[in-house]
Amino acid sequence: MTPIEKIQSEHGIVGRERELATALAVLGAGRHLLLEGPVGVGKTTVALAVCGHLGRDTVRVDGDDRYSESKLTGWFDPPLVLKQGYGEDAFFAGPLVEAMRGGKVLFINELNRMPESVQNVLLPALDEHLLQLPHIGEVHAAEGFQVVATQNPVEYVATGHLSEALRDRFEHLALLYQGAGEEAAIVAAETGSDDAQLVQTAVRLTRATRLHPRFRKGASVRGAIATVAIAERLWADDRDACGAVSREVLRRAAEAALTTRVDLRDDIDADFGAALDELLELVVERGEDPDVALAPPESAPKA
């Protein structure tokens, strides 16, 4: 079994051979890694799986716009400062200092949601493996210290741009949506469903949200997973149900699963129900593959 196959097996990852190989190479070379891609493509899964395979301890940070510099580096406990003064005994190390001192991987989820001032704290740690702390002095990173971060595209809500200086310290790995076959395999594995037709339909509905002109932002494979899980429960609870999942059950499941995961282009008069009916007509009534039917002209398969 190759290292990639072992990672896939141990962490339940479908596909992603190239991405896993690149991540292994970057971390193996001692470099810092930035994984970028839309919500739900498995950035966190890939990052932590590779770190685990390499036997690296990780310290995790989840970024948001209220994250402070002291929360990243560490803080002094006021009662202890009053009693003992500023010093190591009154200092509580934050995740950055913990990772530097322990030679660990600092894993930052959604780095570009952090304020710019917090991002800037990372620069000397990334570049020189050094951090200056008031009242503590210099913190030198132990051997093995690395940073692995993820970020969503800047058009997503509550995200921003990383500075050029910060991006220059990372090696970049893009994770895009996977093919329909791999997404179907993910849905089947996550739901345990043996209804191949339902799985295919849910995947096609979800992929259609990424391509249909009425949608500004489509759903990830999580939408398909939720659609299958809800549809099977609704179908099982319907005493009169028999045979395949009905269109009405599928619609109810898809509406519950996809509404919170998509954005329509018309924010003023957005009608998700009407948009969903268009997708159902395409995928269910007409039985079309949205990857073909909704593909941009320049990417459509040649006759």
Task: Outline which parts of the chain fall under CATH 1.10.8.80.
Answer: 180-295
Each residue of 16-51: pLDDT tens digit? Answer: 999 999 999 999 999 999 999 988 899 999 999 999
Mean pLDDT of the chain: 86
Average of per-residue pLDDT across 203-230: 94
Q: What three-state secondary structure class fits 148?
A: strand
27, 34 Cβ separation under 8 angstroms: no
Give, in words, the CATH class of 180-295: mainly alpha
Sign of the CA dihedral running 56, 18, 14, 228: positive
> Is pLDDT at 157 greater than 60 in this prediction?
no
Contact status, residue 244 vs residue 197, Cβ threshold 8 Å:
yes
Q: What's the pLDDT tens digit per position in 174-199? A: 999 999 999 999 999 999 999 999 99
97-106 residue pLDDT tens: 899 999 999 9
pTM for the whole structure = 0.83
| CATH number, domain 3-174 | 3.40.50.300
As annotated, the residues of the chain forming the CATH 3.40.50.300 domain(s) are: 3-174
* Per-residue pLDDT, 6: 92
